[in-house]
Structure 1
Amino acid sequence: MAVSRTEAVVEAMCPYRLVLEHVTSRWGVLVLIELLDRPYRFSELRRAISGYGRDVSEKMLTQTLQTLERDGLVHRDAKPVIPPRVDYSLTDLGREAAEQVRGLALWTEKRMGAVQDAREAYDTRRGAAASS
């Protein structure tokens, strides 16, 4: 029996799942959303991401950019100047993915009240069950 693409995503070694993990990783989300606005140099991008209240190490940002570049989502443009200049931007594929990620981010912002209500209701139920 053939496995659907949706079912395949939940399989541990599925290539779809690996790309999904790259796009939705802690730093991947922020890199994609930030690069939607414009190309960035490495240090600018690191500062922009830190503006979200999260400090990303140089090593982790480098790994994230390399992973997204390998997946065809980010373009690395190294200019042969002194000092060296490298700009990062989204490819067409990356822009498409980033718009989807940004849509999910906007949805979470819009629906955070409902999530908070659900959490409180859950905690209340769990607290009542623990007291019994």
Structure 2
Amino acid sequence: MTTIAPVSNPPASNPSSQTDATSKTRVDYNSFLKLLVAELKNQDPTKPMESTDFVAQLATFSQVEQSVQSNAKLDQILQSNTLTQAGSLIGREITSADGKTSGIISQVKVYSDGLMAILKDGSQLVVGPGVTIKDASSQPAA
């Protein structure tokens, strides 16, 4: 019986672009590859794997690889959408869900779990459920 060494995260070539979800996916993908190679190395030569079993494993390998690639593309699309949304908020008026904080958005910070609007007065407001965002020019004249 062969012992397989524990899987460790590979060093990231660009840590700022790699998320925890991507790391977890990469570890699962690498684990799958290591298990497949170990199984092929350690199969009994007197009882080789049935060709149908081998084809099924190759099909599974292909599905895993396609899923990893699809997830990477979806992450890129989501990141692009978030950046577009953030840029479109600048110059608009935002009001918190409770109505206590309001102002014109001067900049937006993008975090992995959402957006933070920074108002012209320096206060910060999480862009989330219940906030109201409207065009700043739609304010009644004083």
Fold shared, TM-score > 0.5 on shorter chain = no
- Structure with the bigger RCO (C-alpha within 8 Å, sep 6+) is 1
Larger radius of gyration: 2
Richer in helix (by share): 1
TM-score (norm 2): 0.29
TM-score (norm 1): 0.30
